[in-house]
Chain A
Amino acid sequence: MQPKPVLLKIIDGLAVILLGVATYFALVKAPTEQVMGQVQRVFYFHIGTAWTALLGFLFAAVLSLVFLFTRDLKWDRFQVAAIEVSLVFFFITIVLGSIWARPAWNTWWTWDPRLTTAAITELIYIAYFMLRQGIDDPDRRARFGAVYALIGGISAPITFSAIRLFRTIHPVVIAGGNPEAQGGFSMTPSMLNAMFVALIAFTVIFIDLYWNRIRLGNLEDKVEQLKLKVML
Chain B
Amino acid sequence: MTVKSSNIVQAKTEQRSALSAPTSGNYLKAVSAVVWKDLQAEFRSRELFSAMLVFSLLIILIFNFALELDIKTRQSVTAGVLWATFAFAGTLGLNRSMAIEKDRGCLDGLLLAPVDRSAIYFGKVISNLVFMLIVEVIVLPVYSVLYNINLFQPGLLLVILLGSIGYSGVGTLLAAMSVQTRTRDILLPILLFPVIIPVLLAAVKASSGFLDGSDFSDILLPLNILIVYDIIFISVSFMFFENVVEE
Interface residues of A (CB under 8 A from B): 68, 120, 123-124, 127, 130-131, 134-136, 140, 143-144, 146-148, 150-152, 154-155, 158-159, 161-163, 165
Are B191 and A158 neighbours in the complex by a CB distance under 8 Å? no
The residues in B between 189 and 247 inclusive whose CB is less than 8 angstroms from any CB of A are: 190-191, 194-198, 201-202, 205, 221-222, 225, 228-229, 232-233, 236-237, 240, 243-244, 246
When the two chains form the complex, which single residue of A123, A136, A147, A163 contacts B243, counting CB atoms closer than 8 Å?
A: A147
> Does B173 lie at the interface of the complex (its beta carbon under 8 Å from any beta carbon of A)?
yes
**A123 contact set on B, CB distance < 8 A:** 194
Secondary structure type dominating chain B contacts: helix
Top 3 A-B pairs ranked by shortest CB distance?
A134-B181, A155-B195, A134-B182
**Which residues does chain B contribute within 8 Å of A130, judged by CB atoms?**
183, 187, 190-191
Cβ of B181 and Cβ of A155 under 8 Å apart?
no
CA distance A151 to B173 in the complex (A): 10
Q: Is B177 an interface residue (CB 8 A)?
A: yes
A-B contact count (CB 8 A): 85
Q: Which residues of B contact A120 (CB under 8 A)?
A: 194, 197
Q: List 19 A-B contacts (CB under 8 A).
A: A120-B197, A130-B183, A130-B190, A135-B181, A143-B244, A144-B181, A144-B244, A147-B173, A150-B236, A151-B233, A154-B232, A155-B233, A158-B198, A158-B229, A158-B232, A162-B225, A163-B201, A165-B201, A165-B221
CB pair A127 B244 closer than 8 Å: no
Task: Give every chain A residue within 8 A of B187 (Cβ-Cβ).
Answer: 130-131, 134
Q: Are B177 and A144 in contact (CB under 8 A)?
A: yes
Q: Is the CB of B194 within 8 A of A147?
A: no
Residues in A with CB closer than 8 Å to B196 are: 155
Beta-carbon contact of B198 and A159 below 8 Å: yes
Q: Does B180 contact A (CB under 8 A)?
A: yes
* B89 adjacent to chain A (CB < 8 Å): no
Check B181–A151 contact: CB distance below 8 A: no
Q: Is B170 an interface residue (CB 8 A)?
A: yes
- Measured between beta carbons, the chain B residues less than 8 angstroms from A155 are 194-198, 233
What CA separation (Å) do A140 and B245 show in the bound complex? 9
Residue pair A165, B222 in contact (C-beta under 8 Å): yes
A70 to chain B, nearest CB (A): 12
**Inter-subunit contact B183/A134 (CB<8 Å):** yes
Is the pair A154, B244 in contact by a Cβ cutoff of 8 Å? no
CA A39 to CA B198, docked complex, whole Å: 33
Q: State the CA gap A131–B177 with chains docked (Å).
A: 9
- The answer to whether B201 and A127 have CB atoms under 8 Å apart is no
Contact of B201 (CB < 8 Å), options: A68, A154, A159:
A159
CA distance A165 to B200 in the complex (A): 13
* Contact with B191, one of A127, A135, A136, A163 (Cβ below 8 angstroms): A127
- Candidate in B177, B180, B232, B246 with the most chain A CB atoms within 10 angstroms: B177
Contacting pair B177 A154 (CB below 8 A): no
In the complex, which residues of chain A have a beta carbon less than 8 angstroms from the beta carbon of B174?
148, 151
Which has the most chain B C-beta neighbours within 10 Å: A135, A147, A148, A154?
A147
